[in-house]
Chain A
């Protein structure tokens, strides 16, 4: 009776076992790595906009503060995008003929919103509030990166729950208070409401701080 298997079959089997092992391990590890890559987090992905708006020019050259256009960041949950009339506030005077600003003028005169492309998005069950973060001394750049140096705005941090928790679990360190950064009235344990100071911190990591 001829041999059932060729002489190399043992080696083949062992090889197969090794490969199977590797596949098994990577089947577990690969997804964990993948979800942390920009393919999923959309970091460093410059987004085109209907209007060729350049933050570098407005912030660096003209020295306009973030809050001039994103004023709601101080009083509302949403920083929001400036309504067209804010743009026209200046651009009815300057560059009021520029073809680049045609969409803006069209929006203003036709009273139709400009459809911007969202860059920083959170899941709908996340109730992020800009105003309290600004009031607490979290710099815009902490989550949005150096927008002033971006020709087209892009995400620079994953903006996932892990990112939020890093800060909420250890705000002093993350915001640089431990490193001596002192925003005066903006210090976390504000002497004016001691009763609230500790709650303000412990409250940071309870679920309903962000999920309601």
Chain B
């Protein structure tokens, strides 16, 4: 490789690693605010543990509400990461290199939130470990006909694999960070995590193989996790839950929301860290296109749900979809969902909008809201009106519900801020590779021409 190329690489590395040292006071402020929010989150969790989930708005018949909605929402967010890192990797979508670190980090933190809520929503969370198969003195085992133990397993596996994937991808960059760290102590810390990476040729060979294998391992998970989550509802009798379309429908929704979250995070970051040269409009455009595609899948899901409800001729299904959702209590969520997940994404047909970052950012936020509402509609509206009309009740969240939701958002952003602050936010090695790849391609093109 030419000296110029090497220098260019070096320059790029400097630029990308620099984010780790460039802590402005805004960072400190952000940490402070989000940290406070996270503490509040912890406090509310403690409160709920102490007093009981009666603090929430749940009731009979609406026995599941915010906690489950948040859980499904976060686990959905968590899907983009692996999708980008694994599936796009296998599909050799090189543009992913610039965004995959973001999305993997995001995945990790989202899954962390997701793991929290199922435990918190239990009546007796201190017995959550009964969901695990272990030889108990009671001689009793979990019941595998229920989706919940599988849920537990799926999310846990997904979390673990995401972590490994994240860490493996991080190794070479940790090494670069180590080498560029100003102080010795930082070099030591990054050095430990870099596991003595020297970038030798066979290290790279092993590294690529491991990465490929992990990618292969992670790919089915993207599909499986949310399919299993969807089973929590699909196996139920409840009108609006009892549906075979749920697994693909949920996965599509998950990736949809995941990409929305990626955009809502990456657009500001790109601005703050001046990564315009790395994260080009082309990348954003690609994400936006995926957003449009998955958005259409979701819209199709909605349409089919309604069609099947009508086609089934089941009076309760019909009531759920054609009476409760449009007119029942909390029907606002239904309209918000339709507007954010079906109408808004249609704007993405236009290239001008796809590359107008401000607008795109706004739009991605809306889609996040819409996806949260989708889960709310499924869970809460499904339960508010069931079979026995004599025993129906509406649902209103308590302040603790709202607190936990905003708290988890704070915690998520807090973790993400930490990531932005202490780790290289773009996969250096891969970006450099991509550039070399492009350079080589250009060179070959020139040679052929000349």
Q: Do chains A and B touch in the complex (CB under 8 A)?
A: yes
Which residues of A157-178 have CB atoms within 8 Å of chain B's CB atoms?
Answer: 158, 160-162, 165
Which residues of B161-215 have CB atoms within 8 Å of chain A's CB atoms?
Answer: 178, 184, 187-188, 191-192, 195-196
B134 part of interface (Cβ distance < 8 Å): yes
B91 part of interface (Cβ distance < 8 Å): no
Q: How far is the CA of A123 from the CA of B271 in the complex (A)?
A: 62
Contact of A162 among B134, B137, B184 (CB under 8 A): B137
Q: How far is the CB of A63 from chain B (nearest CB, A)?
A: 37
The number of chain A residues with a CB under 8 A from chain B is 13
Q: How far is the CB of B443 from chain A (nearest CB, A)?
A: 35
Q: Can you list 23 A-B contacts with CB-CB less than 8 angstroms, sorted by A residue number?
A: A4-B178, A4-B184, A4-B187, A4-B188, A4-B191, A5-B188, A5-B196, A13-B192, A13-B195, A13-B196, A32-B134, A32-B135, A35-B137, A36-B137, A158-B137, A160-B137, A160-B138, A161-B138, A161-B139, A161-B140, A162-B136, A162-B138, A165-B139
Contact (Cβ within 8 A) A161 B137: yes
A206 part of interface (Cβ distance < 8 Å): no
Which chain A residues border B136 with CB–CB below 8 Å? 162
Binding site for B on A (CB under 8 A): 4-5, 9-10, 13, 32, 35-36, 158, 160-162, 165
Q: How far is the CA of A161 from the CA of B135 in the complex (A)?
A: 12
- Taking chain B's interface residues, is the majority helix, strand, or loop, or is none over half, making it mixed? loop
Q: How far is the CA of A4 from the CA of B135 in the complex (A)?
A: 47
Binding site for A on B (CB under 8 A): 134-140, 178, 184, 187-188, 191-192, 195-196
Residue in B137, B138, B191 whose Cβ sees the most chain A Cβ within 10 Å: B137
Q: Which residue of A lies closest to B187 (CB)?
A: A4
Q: How far is the CA of A34 from the CA of B385 in the complex (A)?
A: 48
Closest CB pairs A-B (n = 9): A161-B138, A160-B137, A162-B139, A165-B139, A162-B137, A4-B191, A4-B187, A35-B137, A4-B188
Which chain B residues border A9 with CB–CB below 8 Å? 196
Q: How far is the CA of A13 from the CA of B139 in the complex (A)?
A: 40
Beyond contacts A4-B188, A161-B139: 14 other A-B pairs, Cβ-Cβ < 8 A, are: A4-B178, A5-B188, A5-B191, A9-B196, A13-B192, A32-B134, A36-B137, A158-B137, A160-B138, A161-B138, A161-B140, A162-B137, A162-B139, A165-B139
Q: Which residue of B lies closest to A160 (CB)?
A: B137
Which chain B residues border A4 with CB–CB below 8 Å? 178, 184, 187-188, 191
Q: Which residue of A lies closest to B196 (CB)?
A: A10
Q: How far is the CB of A57 from chain B (nearest CB, A)?
A: 35
Which chain A residues border B188 with CB–CB below 8 Å? 4-5
Which chain A residues border B134 with CB–CB below 8 Å? 32
Q: How far is the CB of A40 from chain B (nearest CB, A)?
A: 9
Q: How far is the CB of A207 from chain B (nearest CB, A)?
A: 10
Q: How far is the CB of B370 from chain A (nearest CB, A)?
A: 41
Which chain B residues border A165 with CB–CB below 8 Å? 139
Which chain A residues border B187 with CB–CB below 8 Å? 4
Q: How far is the CA of A158 from the CA of B139 in the complex (A)?
A: 13
Q: How far is the CB of B382 from chain A (nearest CB, A)?
A: 30
Which chain A residues border B191 with CB–CB below 8 Å? 4-5
Q: How far is the CA of A211 from the CA of B397 in the complex (A)?
A: 35
Q: How far is the CB of A150 from chain B (nearest CB, A)?
A: 24
Q: How far is the CB of A49 from chain B (nearest CB, A)?
A: 28
Q: Which residue of B lies closest to A164 (CB)?
A: B139
Q: Which residue of A lies closest to B138 (CB)?
A: A161
Which chain B residues border A10 with CB–CB below 8 Å? 196
Q: How far is the CB of B52 from chain A (nearest CB, A)?
A: 19
Which chain B residues border A32 with CB–CB below 8 Å? 134-135
Q: How far is the CA of A91 from the CA of B173 in the complex (A)?
A: 87
Q: How far is the CA of A162 from the CA of B137 in the complex (A)?
A: 5
Q: How far is the CB of B153 from chain A (nearest CB, A)?
A: 16
